[in-house]
Every structure is written in structure tokens, then in C-alpha cells.
Copies of this chain bind each other. A is one copy, B any other.
Amino acid sequence: MELKGRDIISIKDFTREEVDHILKTAGKVDHILGENLRPLSGKFMGLLFFEPSTRTRLSFEAAMKRMGGGVIGFSEPAVSSVKKGETLADTVRTVENYADILVIRHPLEGSAKLAADFASIPVINAGSGAEEHPTQAFLDLYTIFKEKGSVDGLNIGILGDLRYGRTVHSLTYALSLYDVNLYLVSPPELRIRKEVLQAVRNRLRVKEFSRIEDVMPELDVLYVTRIQRERFPDPGEYERIKGAYRIDKAALEKAKEDLIVMHPLPRVDEIQPEVDETKHALYFKQVRYGLITRMALLGLVLGAF
């Protein structure tokens, strides 16, 4: 299998076989993480972040640098030529001269695809609009794979804002490559979009719920996301429901012994701090798995593995 030179724009562009190969490569990186790795020495990443994001930016930077590579770029458009009216296509055709791979985050859907069309070097989508965040999906899969030994056969719940979260969309598409039972739990206002559901219905067994307590005992994995107040036209409605989508120790009482709780972070209060010390809490370890997964992806795309 050859991933060298590939763009990573959408999780939908990858076959099950390719995803498995990526997870297996991440597993190898996991074993040598502490070492002074330099397979990407002399290679450079161009970071084009048109939207702020500490977590994703630092994760990509750390991944590149921990492989011996270098990073250049910008992390907010105010400091860039965009202010002078430059098009995305021109920015891409400029920065690609300085780098061996581009990582782009942009508020508009389709932006990463556009960048890839113009670039002559590989492009990784680090979040484009509300639609896709493929490397987050890869790291989520790797987290499940690593902790559970396999993704197939699991009962996986996703809780929170399923309508607007790009993480949720990418993860749902990713899970549709596997044999899983998917439990979607959200307020009625924030149900997953019909087109996402239709695209995965044939391959995933999906059930939708409004209350987490109805499915908690079944779950092997609970993936929590934020519910944002501004999604509700009526603030009173938000206040009424928010407690039902907050995970605390009490909510976990009926969970399986080995349930893992994941979260793309940052969280606000949808997972209470008291959960951090339980054996279920996996969200900080998930950050480490994110670093590992991105190291694997960079290594594969740049031909180091």
C-alpha cells in the first residue's frame, strides 16, 4: 500500500485497508516515541492556519518536530498576506515553495480540497468548516484500536452536538468502515445531519437517543462533545437540557467496568473534573495518541515509513 504523496482531505477518501495500515503504523510509532527520531530531518511542514487552534496546531507541530522535521507558517490570518486580499490559491502556491507538505485549517468548507488542487505537494486538512477533520477521526480510531484491541464489534456512543461538530461527522464516516453499533445521543435540536446518516446507514447499525442513561450500560466507548449555548435560539431551552448532557461520576455508575470516555477537547463542563480520576477517563491519553497518529500520517505521506 502506498500512502506516499497522498492528500488527506476527507476520511471518505480512505479504504478500510488503508485505515488499518495507518493504525498499524501508529502502533509502531507508539513503541519508539521516547526516542530521538529524525526520519523527517530536512523536511518542512507549511502550517496555514486561517482559524486559531492551539491543540491541533501544537499537535501537528510536535508531530513534525519529533520526527526531526521543521515547521514554518502562520497561526492566524491577521499576520498573513490574506489581509492584503490574496486568494487561498496564491497563498498555497507561495508557501509550497518553502515546504514539503502543507497543513491547512480554514473556516470554509472545501478550502482544503481547493488547496490540494493547486498545490504540487501533499496537503493535510486540519479542519475545514463544519464538515471534516480527518486526522481527528484517525486519532479517535487509533485510541479505540489501542485501548480495545480492535474497533470491530464495539458499542460506541457519541454524545452532544451531533449537528455542527466536524469531529462527529468525520468520526461517523470513519466508524462506518468497521462493524460497530453506533448510539447517537443528542437533544432533538442537535441530531446528526440527514446526509451523514444516509451515507453510513447501510454499513453502520445506528440508533438515536435523547437520554444518555438509556444507553450507558451498553457502551464500550462513550465519545463526548460540547453543546454550545449559541446553537439554541432560546437560552431557556439550553439551560433546561444542558444537565442531561453532562457526564459526572453518577452518570457513570451503570457503565461497563471497561468503558472508555473520550473527548476531542477542549471541554468546558460537559465532563465534570471528578471524572478525570476515574479509570474511564481517556481524553488526555487521547491527546498523546493524537501526536502518535499524526507522526504516523506525516511519516507515511512523506515516505519515511
Q: Which residues of A contact B (CB under 8 A)?
A: 35-37, 41-42, 44, 46, 52-55, 58-59, 61-62, 65-66, 70, 72-76, 78-86, 89-91, 93-95, 97-99, 265-268, 273, 284, 287-288, 290-291
Contacts and interface: CB of A to CB of B under 8 A. Distances in A.
Contacts of A66: 42, 44, 70
A54 to B, nearest CB: 4
Nearest to A35: B42
Contact of A42 (B36, B59, B90, B99): B36
Nearest to A290: B97
B52 A98 contact: no
A85 B228 CA distance: 12
A97 B44 contact: no
B84 A268 contact: yes
A123 to B, nearest CB: 16
Report copies per complex. Answer: 3
A58 B42 CA distance: 16
Contacts of A74: 54, 58, 75
A60 to B, nearest CB: 10
A62 B79 CA distance: 17
A183 B72 CA distance: 37
A291 B65 contact: no
Contact of A79 (B46, B54, B82): B54
A173 B93 CA distance: 29
30 contacts: A36-B41, A44-B65, A52-B78, A52-B79, A53-B81, A54-B79, A54-B80, A54-B81, A54-B82, A58-B72, A58-B73, A58-B94, A58-B95, A59-B98, A61-B98, A62-B99, A65-B70, A75-B79, A76-B78, A81-B265, A81-B266, A84-B268, A85-B268, A86-B265, A86-B267, A91-B266, A93-B284, A93-B287, A94-B266, A98-B291
A98 B58 contact: yes
Nearest to A68: B42
A62 B44 contact: yes
Given A52-B79, A52-B80, 13 more contacts: A35-B42, A37-B42, A44-B62, A46-B58, A55-B81, A58-B95, A58-B98, A90-B265, A90-B267, A93-B284, A94-B266, A94-B284, A97-B291
A224 to B, nearest CB: 14
A71 to B, nearest CB: 8
